[in-house]
Structure 1
Amino acid sequence: MNKVFTPFLAALLALSTVLVPVTAPAQETTPIDGIVAVVDEDVILRSELDRAVANITAQYANQPGQLPPRDVLERQVLDRLVLSRLQLARARDSGIRVADGELAQAIESVAARNQMSQDQLRARLAQDGLSYDEFRSSLRDELLLERLQQRYVQSRVQVSEAEIDQLLAVREIGGPEVRLANIIVALPDGANAEEVATAQKKARDIKTVVERGDIDFAAAAIRFSDAPNALEGGDIGWRTFDAIPPAFVGLIQQLQKGQISEPIRGPGGYQLIQLVDTREAGVQTMTEFNAQGILIRATPTVPSETARQKAEALRARIVAGEDFGKLAREHSEDTMSRNDGGDMGWFPVNAWGTSVGNQLMQLQDGEVSQPFQSEVGWHIIKRLGSREQDVTEQNRRNQAREIIAQRKAEEEFERFLRQLRAEAFVESRLTGA
């Protein structure tokens, strides 16, 4: 495959953490194109691997020294391609599909993120040597993988209020955040003493060369790490301490920014953790509004114009001095607020819909809106007040729920991937693999 990858094209082809191969068209296959892996009844071609490696290489075009030797990079990328191929097969066997309309929306989103029209996106892809059909195929595969993960974990991950209470009781939620990176030196199952000692020494040697300044941590992760995030420089991202496994919290709290931990023995091998950065979390507030509302529904028997005229008449009576709450009880068709005189309570701006929210933002306290239309009919609202509400505690509970759910989802899906890989027939034909 002689196609040249630009940084723009590489970015488009690396839309997710799972590397999705873009299969070359049949007419581009040459007689020297060989098989680098057999995956169940499917194969991965040398051209596919070269293309995926070229994608990674393009992303590091300005930092080529951070990449490992070609044979190591090929092995890492092939492992990803194999796992991707197995997941795609499982997704299709499970009946997961991506409709053409959904794919079109995803393409539109990609174009928007790159500040392009779809025609400009097509032109740029062609300029960089990738057909539009190839790009669509790659993006469809990515959506399939996302849905496979969502479907698998959705029914298996439940978070109870008791679990949230338990987490909040033992951990500080919403406190300082840390950005972490890691390097893993893997050990095989049932490793003997010599293998353990070798892995531990390798981890210590990596730590030494990084601290000596011979190579930075991200480059070392790309070259030496056996973790799935190796090609991302070992980046784990921002985490609160409550989102970190308890065994590592004390260790990380002792690190200074930029420092690297001693090798830590885990189930899969030895791990080095770097504290990349820290930041403080502040008090979280939300603007809430208090209002009264009247709804006149538009129905097949009450045309929209009739509903508008009734709303206009009611507003005129309110402006003339009649009580808003009394008219709401008598005329409003909003069953949630009618009996309370149209009282909508305190709520975030768009809790009653964007149409109501937009009107609230334009009103002053005590002011009554002109009649306005939503998808259900015509409204009049009176803004009673606004306030800044401290939602730190509410967000802490939501954050705790997300932390527990994310942890369970990751564990479940990692278990699924290990099982998927273990049950598959995979034969690597890379030299030295």
Structure 2
Amino acid sequence: MSKTQRTAPKALAALLALSVAAPAALAHTAPTHKSASQKAAAPAKPPPEDQILAVINGQVLTQRDVDNRAKLFVLSTGLPVSPDVMNRMRGQIIHQLIDERLKTQEMLKRHINVEPEQIAGAISNIEQRNGMPKDALRNRLASDGVSLTTLIDQIRVQIGWMQVLREQLGEGGRITATQIAQREQALQAEQGRAQYMMSEIFVPVADPRHDENELTFTRTIISQLREGAPFPIVAAQFSQAQSALDGGSMGWVQEDNLDPEVVNVVRQMPIGAISNPIQVAGGFVIATVQAKRVVGKQMGTLVSLRQAFFPFDAPLNPQNPTPQQQASLQKATHAIETIHSCDAMEALNKSLGEKRPSNPGTQVLERLAPQMRSVIEPLPANKVSRPLVSMDGIALLMVCDRQQKNLAQQTPGEIADQLMNERVEQASRQLQRDLQRRSIIDIRPAAKPALN
């Protein structure tokens, strides 16, 4: 055994401690202890899976549907969720699935079809926004026995509903050059005022006189978020705003485009905090703010990167790496000494199977996670970073280009997207109310305890 082979286990252990940690969003940990009351309580007999909870225009909603959605939430957040928490969420899951049935029926009525490629792209987007490797979410669901159909059905409704709304808007959904110019003038008038990079989860309330269930559900979601549940995944599953497909991300928004109740909260929120329930017209909002700036002015550093990823043949045990993992470390160390251009990094990553994209896209240095920023910020252009070891492989990064830019300058395309999102959100709430009024929804006795 060579000296390099003898020291490889220690080197991998040390590098793992130094490296940017792999996303833990999919880690599944069981509770470490049970209270005396939990031990003493006899397990309740679960209801039959085929028990009908509601009939929506002749289409049934069963206990199995609710259970699968609950399992999807638990597994995708990676947090241990107590039976008590799940019981508090059950009523809102039923409401959400009823709304999805209504949306699906409207999609079928309009002959709207969602292509598999659209669904795959949406799942990939959720993974990317949460820092997950490709296919990590679907693989985890499969390994835990949750049908991927549960996730696919939800995303199909979200995508198809967007197509319904665009059809509903018709010509009214076309953004004109005049409208973009008017918004640009409005932004000029707001120079010096606050603007927020934020995400939202919107929980609708059917009857504002009786919002106890929705409020309980909103507080439950907040507690899970504060314990570490990934905001993009929770938003994708439970938010009824059109931003759900983007993991709740609203992008940069100015105060005039937010509900006054939300403005009052986000003005005071620390970066990264999760708000308490914010009551707005139609429901509750959960907000988080990623960054704040002054309208029209925010200098930032745009960094163009390339990466090469050396995949492991099995999850890494730092104290006992496999021969393949030791060889990967040696290859990565050799690449640090021999790779001197971004083109060479791309070629190297392709030769390794391109398990992660060679070009992760232009990044804003100031918005990177602190650990990642500490790696990128001091790295000279065209120089390979130190090995970044995770449980599934070793990443090398290279900076191709840096440039300073005023990030607060919105392009006409960004303004058009913002205007469209505002119209779509308004149309969605109106059409949902209309569908509920016109529908026959029969809530069965088995569902009423959760809804009362």
Larger Rg: 1
What is the TM-score with the length of structure 2 in the denominator? 0.46
The one of the two structures with greater contact order (alpha-carbon pairs below 8 A, sep at least 6) is 2
